Amino acid sequence: MSKPSEKMADDRFEHIQAFFDTTRGQLTIGEIPPVRRAALAAVGKKVRVALVCGESESVSELLRRLNAALGKAAAENIVIDEVLPEIKRRR
């Protein structure tokens, strides 16, 4: 388990803040059929990060993962997409 100081540092969501500050993007948390729970960060129709929420994953854990993924996507200029492979897997 995280120490309280580590948890507070994680909850600053600096990469989510930077995403809002530097883009005209949006975050969506909810259903992306057939995926019941997901998080999506996009600018217009261009997805930057799409995450599938695990069965036992809490919303705060998903947000921390989204924050980390946005940081990685920005630093490496990549797209992180867990949703499309999950949709293809379910077909």
Give tens-digit pLDDT for 24-81.
Answer: 999 999 999 999 999 999 999 999 999 999 999 999 999 999 999 999 999 999 999 9
Residue 5: pLDDT above 60? no
Quick one: pLDDT at residue 75? 97
H helices of the chain, where? 4-10, 14-22, 59-76, 83-90
Position 18 confidence tier, pLDDT thresholds 50, 70, 90: very high
| Domain count of the fold of the chain | 1
Query: Pairing relation of β-strands 80-81 and 46-52?
Result: parallel
The pTM assigned to this predicted structure is 0.86
DSSP state of 53: P
Say how far apart CA 45 and CA 52 lie, in whole Å: 18
Contacts of 39 (CB under 8 A, 6+ apart): 27, 28, 29, 49, 50, 51, 53, 62, 63, 65, 66
The domain in which residue 34 lies consists of: 4-90
